[in-house]
Structure 1
C-alpha cells in the first residue's frame, strides 16, 4: 500500500490548505531506505502569525461558546472518521516513522476510543460551590473556562497518537489549537488534519503549520496570541520552551525525557520481567520516552535474567517495517542512528560491554536505512553516561543490586522521573517501592501501560503537568472564582 501523496504536503490554516509564504519545501524520509519520502511546505513566521490569529478568531467568534454537547458530538464524529481511515493512517506512520505495520495498527486502533473518552468526560469539567464562612447571603462558586489558543508542539516518535492525546482534551475544554508536527515525521498529522472539515469542525479551530523547531516552533511558542504550550520531546528543548513561554507567562505542559528503571527482585516472575525488557527495547526501536532502559536486577538472579534476555533478543526479527512478520524496524533518521552509535562508543570507553542482537549487516533488507540492533550494555553501572543520559534507541544498561535499599537508591539516582517498573511477589515491598520511587508512573509486575483514562506525566526533569485522563482537560482550563451577594 502506498498512501503517500506525490504532491508536496501543504499546511492547514483557517480551514484552507496552503503553501508556505516563501514557497520553501523540506524533505521527509523513509527510515527503512533513507530515501526521500515526500516534500513538505515550510511555514514562515508570518504563516504562524496567520494561524494563531485564525485560531483566536475561531475561539472568539464561536468555539468558546460551543456547547459541551456539540464539542462531544464533533469529537465522536472525528473518532468515526479516524476508524474509517485507520489502515491508511497506519501505513503513513509506518512509512514515515519506520515502526512495523503491526505496531502502527495496534497503536492507532485505540485512538477512536480515546476520542470517545474525552467526548464523554466533558460534563465532568465543572466548578464548585463553596460555603462562605462569614457571609450567608454571598453565593461563592468557581467556573472552569477555556484558555484560548493552545500550541501543540509534537515529537517524531508517536506523531499521531500523541497529537490526538493533546488535541482532544484541548478541544474538549473549548480551546482552539495550532499544531506543529515534527519536521521529521509530519505526514500522519497532516493526514489527520484532513478529517477535521469532514467531521464538521469550524474553520480555524484546528490549524497545522510545518517546519523546524528552531524557526516555526519558536515563533509559535513566543507568539503573544498563544495562551498555552504543550510540548513532548527532549528535556533540553523543553527547558528552552519553558523559558521562551515565560516572557508572556504562558501555561506550559512538558512531557520530557526518561531513563526508566526496570527493577527485578530475586522473587520475581522472571519470564514476565524479561518480556517487559524485550518489549521496551524492541517497541518502536526503543524510541519511547517511558521505555525501561536501566535494568536493575538483584545479584542472585542477574546471570539467569541476562541469559534469558539475550536468548529473546537474538531471536528478534528486525527488518522491513511493511512486513507483518517484522518485530523491529529502523530508527527514525540518520541523525538518530548516529546518535545511538555514538553512545555505544561512549559505553565502550566507560567500560561497559555492548552486546548487539542480531547483526543488521547479515540481513539484506537492513543494508539500507537507519537500522541499529537491540543492544545490551553489560558490566554497566549507574554512574556511566549511558546509564544517566537518555539515548532514545534500542539500548539498555544491565546493573546489579544487593537489596531493596540499594535498588531504590540506584533507581532514583537520575535527573529523570517518568516511569518505573518493579517485579516482586512481596506485596509489602511492591508498595514501599511504589511510594518511594520518584516517578510519575509506577507499574508492578507488568510494563508501564499508558491509558487514556489515567493521568500521565513525570517528576524532576521528565516534565511538568499531566496528560490523559480528566487531568488533561483540567490542564486546558483556567479556574475563576465568583462571589455574588444575593441580598442586593
Structure 2
C-alpha cells in the first residue's frame, strides 16, 4: 500500500503541523492523494506576525530592486527544473490533464513569475517631477513604497499560476505575504514555497497557511496588520471580502466570476471558430473564470454551426489525467460535480435542448471520481439560469441573434464582464465591435491568451482592480510624495499669506 504524503504549512520558513489535517482528494477517482496540515485563525495570526517581523527587519523590503529581481529569477529557473514535480501535484489535486498542467497550469506559471522577476528590477519605484517654480522653487519626488504585509486567497482551479499573480508583484515590490490557498489544492503552492526559500527568499517573507475560508480566510481578510488582500474566486465570496476588508479600510483586488460570451459573426472562419469556441469553453472542463460558456451565433448560421460544434466535440477524449492522449479530465469535487449536473437538468427544464453529453460518461473508468461529458445546450435564451450563472463545468450554451446590435445586447446583459471573444474574418469589423463589449479582455479569433504584460480583470461584478501588466506592482505599493524646497531663504517663501507682520 502506497503511503500518502503529508505536507506541513509554511510559517516563518518552517514546516508546521497542527495535528489536524486536510484531505486532498484526486478528482479522477476520489482517492486520497495527500494530507495537509490544517491552519485556522491562530496559524494566520502567527503567519501575519512572522510576515510583519520580516518586513520591518528590512531583510527583504530594504533589498535593492535588482537583488529582489535576481532571487525571483532564480526561483523561476528552479521551478522549470522541477516542472515534473509541480505538474504531478497539480494534477492529483485539481484534476488537470498532464498536457494542460504542463502547458498551462505550470508552464504559464513559470513564464509569468519570470515576468514579475523582470518587473522587480525595472519598475519605477521613484520618479522626479519637473521642478516647480510657483509659489516657490521646489522639487517633488514620487515614491512607490511597499505596503507591508499582504494577504492572498487563491482558488482551486489554477492554484499555482493565479496565486503567483499575487505573490509575484507583492514580493517584487518588497512586501511580505501570507497566502491562504484553497483547501482542496494547496500542494503546488507548498512546493513553490520550498523552492522559493531554497533560492534565498528570507523566512517570513512568504507564508502559506492552508485552511477553510470561514476561519483562516476570514481572519486573513480582517487582520489589522494586513494592508492589502488579493482574492480570486466567486463573486459571492468577493462581496464578503469587500465587506470585511472595509472594517480596516484595507486595499483589495478581486478577480471574480464570469459568463464570457463568444460572438461568431457571419463572416467568421467556421472551422477556426468551432475549434476556438470549444477550446474557449471546454479547456480544463470549463473550470476557468473567463471560459467562453455562451456562444452567440447568427440565425443564418445557427444550424450549421451547431452541427459542426457537435461533430467536433465528439472527438474530445476523456480518460486518465496522466495519459498524454487525454483531452479532458474530471470536475474538481463531488459538490461541484453535482452542481454542474443539476444546472444541466435545470437548463433542459427551462427549454434548452441537450444535443451532446449532459451526464456522466459511460465506462468503468468513470464510475469513480467526478466526471461530466462535454455538453452542448442549444435553443438557450439569455434569461435561462444556464445562460446567467457561472456553471464551472464543460457546458456550452448556444444562443441565437439576428444582428450585431442584438449580439452586443445579449453579450452585455450579464452581471459579469470578465472576458469576451469575437470570431470574424474582418479585423476592422471585429475591433469596432470590441469597443461595444463590457469586458476587461476581448480576444479576437482566439481564447485564453493571457499575456503577463497585459492587465487582466473584469467589468461590473467580475472584480475590482487588475492583475498582470506593467503596472501590476501599483496594487502592492503605497504612493508617497516628497517635496524638497530649493528656494533657500525665508524671503522667497509665501509665508506672508499668513504672517504679514514683523515681530514686535
The match for 1:128 is: 127
- Please state how far the C-alpha of 1:481 moved relative to its aligned partner: 1.3
- Please state how far the C-alpha of 1:407 moved relative to its aligned partner: 0.6
- 8 Å contact from structure 1 (residues 320, 366) kept in 2: no
* TM-score when normalising by structure 2: 0.93
- Please state how far the C-alpha of 1:130 moved relative to its aligned partner: 2.9
The match for 2:62 is: 65
Q: 1:7 and 1:327, CA in 2 relative to 1: closer, same or farther beyond 3 A?
A: closer
- 8 Å contact from structure 2 (residues 8, 15) kept in 1: yes
- 8 Å contact from structure 1 (residues 235, 256) kept in 2: yes
Gap regions ≥5 residues in structure 2? 489-504
The match for 2:493 is: none
The match for 2:110 is: 112
CA deviation map 1:95-122 (0-9, x unaligned) = 1111101110111123333222222222
Gap regions ≥5 residues in structure 1? none
- Cα distance in 1, alignment partners of residues 27 and 405 from structure 2: 43
Matched, 1:80 2:77: yes
Partner SS state of residue 247, structure 2: helix
- Cα distance in 2, alignment partners of residues 166 and 452 from structure 1: 12
The match for 1:13 is: 11
Q: 1:331 and 1:354, CA in 2 relative to 1: closer, same or farther beyond 3 A?
A: same
The match for 2:497 is: none
- 8 Å contact from structure 2 (residues 136, 487) kept in 1: no
The match for 2:51 is: 55
The match for 2:88 is: 91
Partner SS state of residue 337, structure 1: helix
- 8 Å contact from structure 2 (residues 4, 32) kept in 1: no
Matched, 1:100 2:97: yes
- Please state how far the C-alpha of 1:136 moved relative to its aligned partner: 4.6
* TM-score when normalising by structure 1: 0.96
- Cα distance in 2, alignment partners of residues 285 and 393 from structure 1: 5
- 8 Å contact from structure 1 (residues 313, 358) kept in 2: no
- Please state how far the C-alpha of 1:5 moved relative to its aligned partner: 7.3
2:34 pairs, out of 38, 45, 49, with 38
- 8 Å contact from structure 1 (residues 419, 448) kept in 2: no
Partner SS state of residue 91, structure 1: helix
Matched, 1:259 2:256: no
Greater shift in the superposed pair: 317-326 or 425-434: 425-434
Greater shift in the superposed pair: 106-115 or 440-449: 106-115
CA deviation map 1:219-259 (0-9, x unaligned) = 11111110100000000001101110111011100000000
The match for 1:431 is: 431
Partner SS state of residue 453, structure 2: coil
Greater shift in the superposed pair: 420-429 or 51-60: 420-429
- Please state how far the C-alpha of 1:474 moved relative to its aligned partner: 1.3
- Please state how far the C-alpha of 1:399 moved relative to its aligned partner: 0.3
The match for 2:181 is: 181
Matched, 1:463 2:459: no
- Cα distance in 1, alignment partners of residues 77 and 388 from structure 2: 43
Partner SS state of residue 192, structure 2: helix
- 8 Å contact from structure 1 (residues 5, 38) kept in 2: no
CA deviation map 1:188-213 (0-9, x unaligned) = 11111111221101110000001111
- Taking only aligned residues, the RMSD between alpha carbons, in angstroms, comes to 1.6
Counting helix residues as a fraction of each chain, which structure ranks higher?
A: 1
Partner SS state of residue 478, structure 1: strand
CA deviation map 1:391-424 (0-9, x unaligned) = 1111111001011111110000000000000112
Matched, 1:198 2:198: yes
CA deviation map 1:12-52 (0-9, x unaligned) = 000000112xx211211010001222222111211110100
- Cα distance in 2, alignment partners of residues 159 and 5 from structure 1: 24
- Please state how far the C-alpha of 1:457 moved relative to its aligned partner: 0.5
Greater shift in the superposed pair: 296-305 or 426-435: 426-435
